[in-house]
Amino acid sequence: MLNRFSLSGKCALITGGSKGLGKQMAISLAIAGADVLIVSRNSKEGERVAKEITEKTGRKCFFIKCDVRKYNDVKRCVEKAINKLGKIDILITSAGINFRHNAVDFPEEKFRDVIETNLFGTWYFCKQVGKYMIERKYGKIITLGSILSVVSLPERTAYASSKGAVLQLTKTLALEWAKYNINVNCLCPGPFQTPMNEKIFKDKKIKKFFLEKIPLSRLGKVEEIGDIAVFLSSDASSFITGSAIFIDGGWTAI
């Protein structure tokens, strides 16, 4: 049974793979046996993390610089990724950003940046890798939504809008591509202890607010999202598609 969770012989492309949840998912997939390629806008950070993953897991890990907001950049990146890996069995679209502002004061350029990164970046990679997976009639795609795909908080108009759209994009792709043996699912995390959230959770009042929303009364550990990513990338999840998988300590159950 455990062989169905193995990713031996598989190749994965992970956007936003140089830090936070994306980095952990890259590490977890490599530990499970996959060769991985991480995508980021930061060359120095990306090269360092790729080397770190190879040294830690013994698997091949490559890095390609790419701006997920630019379609031609994404197209070039996917072509390079296939050449480096030989194939792409798994795609995880983890690249994402967040800006917080009241709706009436939200700068247009920042709102647009969130939508272009979180939604268009996801769509661009799904579109390009999806073409390749359709030809091979196999693929596992994991998009990164959020608990804010289905609930919301003040000052999150851009982020919640983008993540709600990612969830609907995921469901539609799952319906279109099921006949090609491609599973498309949306992983929806709640608050995790990541470098991006460190500044927020240093504020005791803010941390208390979040913990009171979580029935398990703690933040997520990055390793926990890695485990779910391995499952959704493996043959063990072959009958799951078009689903939103919430890893939020119970937040959305309330």
The residues annotated with a catalytic role in the active site are 159
Output the CA angle 202-98-51, nearest 5 degrees. Answer: 80
Place of tokens 């698997």: 59
H-assigned helices in the chain: 20-31, 43-57, 71-85, 108-115, 121-136, 157-177, 198-201, 204-213, 222-233
Tokens standing for residue 203: 């504020």
Contact 33, 233 (CB under 8 A): no
The amino acid at 189: P
Torsion of the alpha carbons at 19, 24, 30 and 34, rounded to the nearest 10: -90
Query: Which of 97, 147, 93 has its CA nearest to residue 117?
Result: 97
Q: Which of 232, 187, 223, 227 is nearest to 90 (CA)?
A: 232
CA–CA separation, 154 and 34 (whole Å): 39
Which residue do the tokens 């939604």 mark?
A: 119
DSSP state of 220: B
Nearest Cα neighbor of 160 from 100, 220, 91 is 100
